[in-house]
């Protein structure tokens, strides 16, 4: 834990006076105390029989100050086993098989991170003074029933190594998060200053296949080339909830949490394309009985009645490929990273498309896809200062939901190690100079909209990337050069 205290003021009378007592107005003070505590007891057991059969197990008990004393402790365990098949007598004579192993494990772990130091307590903060009289209001709602989030993890894998050149792993994994910790928004009429309450929201599952391999393509005295790759599929789904399905807004998009869908899935009215006769954007509306029709009037659209799932911001798969080269003292490597299957809300597309007083759109984004005359079959409606609702600029529809597939040159490095015959003469055991670059190339539908594809799960905002309107920036292009020396 820690204690903090701060004081400040304005109106310093002279340069060089930096004490708070030298200020003349707007005196302020603040203090903060953190007493978060975690107490753990744990044990571990491992067994190995003839380097062929392996068993392991562990157990732990954790107590967290974030939970009520009645819910404070959680107990978790794990167990695993592996079998090195290549060590069996019937495979010892197979010269090209370096290693073949089967392994599996199951375990549980706990999570108490909900972003609040005393998540179960109801506490208050100073609100305002009225004629010199103090006032305060509720800052956090009590949640005495709040308890540990439990993660159940299972994996089964095959590890192999062949010809002393090729190695890899094929693995199936599943992770169930039970009693997921979350902060759920309260309606304005009910929050009374505390806008959220802490809860165990429900259960989710993540499962998929992980593949990885490394291949020594060329390996001799002067030149080596190694290729490494990995790929992971991901299925994310809410399997149960402690409450009814609910929607939550992330700036201009809306997401909905419901059993059978992902944790971050866009739920938003869908556009029905641009009317070729007048250039107005149309929307799909439901009469409540499952019958769909279109309207040009945004006022006719209701999120609860007309919202539809339009894709998850969680990718369905991701992976990378790395090439490493070495020639005498030179080394060179580069890695490509990619992801597919995700959708994102591109606020940059909205901003670059919109037209209003003092704001100029970016014509290259919509030219060729914008309605300009009757008969045009366009994606984007006509520009209009007076009719911005019909132009889709003031509406919360899927017009600005875009594919977030991407392939990126994540890293490139070129280096040279100075021969030891040179460095040892000046007392240096090793010296290497290098240049590198990160995020040098990106191929993605989002690039033309000036949006970084590696955005937060909830979409991007004014400044490019963030979970909300926070101004958090995404992956940056970085160039570096350096000298590594060891003595």
DSSP calls for 14-40: STT--SGGG--EEEEEEEEEE---EEE
List Cα–Cα distances, 40 to 92, 150, 483, in angstroms.
44, 16, 43
Sign of CA dihedral 414, 420, 422, 425: positive
List Cα–Cα distances, 371 to 37, 274, 278, 283, 362, in angstroms.
61, 8, 9, 16, 15
Gap between the Cα atoms of 176 and 186, Å rounded: 27
Would you give the DSSP letter of residue 303?
A: H
Q: Which residue has the tokens 């009469």?
A: 287
| Alpha-carbon torsion, ordered 164, 169, 170, 172, to 10 deg | 160
Task: Retrieve residue 429's tokens.
Answer: 């055991």
Q: 401 CB contacts (<8 Å, ≥6 apart)?
A: 253, 266, 268, 310, 311, 343, 344, 345, 346
179: region left, alpha or beta (phi > 0 left; psi from -120 to 50 alpha)? left
Kindly report whether the global pTM for this prediction surpasses the value 0.75.
yes
φ, ψ of residue 22 to 5 degrees: the values are: -85, -10
- Element spanning 294, H or E: strand 292-295
Q: Which of 396, 186, 389, 401 is nearest to 303 (CA)?
A: 396
- Element spanning 184, H or E: strand 181-185
Per-residue model confidence (pLDDT) at position 315: 94
Task: Retrieve residue 15's tokens.
Answer: 């340069």
What's the distance, CA 367 to chain centroid? Answer: 33
- Element spanning 304, H or E: helix 303-306
Per-residue model confidence (pLDDT) at position 208: 97
Q: Which neighbouring-strand residues pair with 346?
A: none
| pLDDT by 10-residue block (mean), the chain, 487 residues | 77 76 78 79 94 95 91 95 92 89 96 80 72 72 88 96 94 94 75 75 94 94 94 95 84 86 92 91 90 91 92 94 95 96 85 71 74 88 69 74 93 93 82 93 87 71 44 72 89
Q: Which neighbouring-strand residues pair with 157?
A: 103, 171
CB 282 within 8 A of CB 271: yes
Query: Beta 149-162 vs 136-140: how paired, if at all?
Result: unpaired
Q: For 292-329, b where at least 16 C-beta lie within 10 A, e where not — what string?
A: eeeebebeebeeeebbebbbbbbbbbbbbbbebbbeee
| Alpha-carbon torsion, ordered 248, 249, 253, 259, to 10 deg | -10
Gap between the Cα atoms of 418 and 468, Å rounded: 48
Per-residue model confidence (pLDDT) at position 378: 87
Sign of CA dihedral 119, 120, 121, 122: positive
């Amino acid at each position: 834990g820690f204690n903090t205290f701060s004081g400040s003021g304005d109106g310093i009378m002279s340069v060089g006076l930096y004490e708070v007592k030298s200020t003349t107005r707007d005196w302020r003070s603040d203090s903060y105390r953190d007493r978060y505590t975690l107490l753990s007891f744990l044990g571990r057991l491992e067994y190995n029989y003839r380097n062929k059969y392996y068993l392991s197990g562990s157990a732990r008990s954790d107590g967290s100050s974030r939970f009520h004393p009645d819910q404070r402790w959680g107990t978790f365990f794990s167990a695993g086993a592996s079998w090195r098949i290549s060590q069996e007598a019937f495979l010892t004579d197979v010269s090209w098989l370096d290693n073949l192993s089967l392994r599996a494990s199951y375990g549980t772990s706990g999570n108490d991170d909900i972003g609040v130091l005393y998540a179960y307590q109801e506490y208050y903060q100073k609100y305002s003074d009225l004629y010199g009289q103090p006032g305060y209001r509720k800052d956090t709602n009590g949640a005495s029933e709040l308890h540990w989030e439990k993660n159940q993890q299972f994996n089964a894998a095959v590890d192999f190594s062949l010809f002393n050149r090729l190695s890899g792993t094929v693995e199936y994994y599943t992770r169930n998060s039970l009693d997921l910790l979350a902060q759920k928004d309260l309606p304005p009429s009910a929050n009374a200053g505390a806008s959220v309450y802490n809860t165990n929201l429900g259960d989710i599952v993540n499962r998929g296949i992980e593949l990885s391999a490394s291949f020594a393509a060329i390996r001799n005295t002067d030149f080596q080339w190694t290729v490494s790759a990995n790929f992971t599929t991901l299925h994310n789904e809410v399997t149960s909830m402690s409450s009814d399905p609910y929607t939550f807004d992330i700036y201009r998009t809306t997401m909905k949490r419901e059993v059978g869908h992902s944790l971050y899935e866009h739920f938003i009215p869908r556009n029905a394309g641009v009317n070729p006769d007048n250039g107005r954007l149309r929307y799909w509306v439901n009469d409540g009985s499952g019958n769909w029709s279109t309207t040009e009037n945004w006022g006719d659209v209701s999120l609860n009645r007309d919202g539809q799932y339009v894709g998850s911001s969680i990718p369905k798969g991701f992976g990378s490929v790395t090439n490493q080269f070495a020639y005498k003292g030179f080394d060179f490597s580069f890695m490509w990273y990619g992801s597919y299957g995700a959708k994102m809300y591109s606020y940059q597309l909205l901003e670059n498309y919109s037209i209003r007083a003092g704001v100029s759109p970016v014509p290259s984004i919509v030219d060729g896809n914008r309605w300009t005359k009757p008969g045009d079959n366009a994606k984007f409606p006509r520009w209009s200062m007076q009719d911005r609702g019909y132009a889709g600029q003031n509406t919360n529809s899927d017009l600005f939901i875009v594919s977030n597939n991407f392939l990126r040159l994540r890293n490139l490095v070129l280096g040279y190690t100075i021969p030891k015959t040179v460095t040892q003469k000046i007392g240096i055991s090793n010296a290497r100079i290098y240049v590198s670059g990160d995020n040098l190339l990106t191929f993605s539908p989002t690039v033309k909209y000036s949006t970084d594809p590696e955005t937060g799960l909830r979409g991007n905002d004014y400044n490019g990337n963030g979970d909300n309107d926070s101004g958090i920036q995404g992956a940056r292009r970085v160039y570096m050069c350096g000298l590594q020396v060891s003595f």
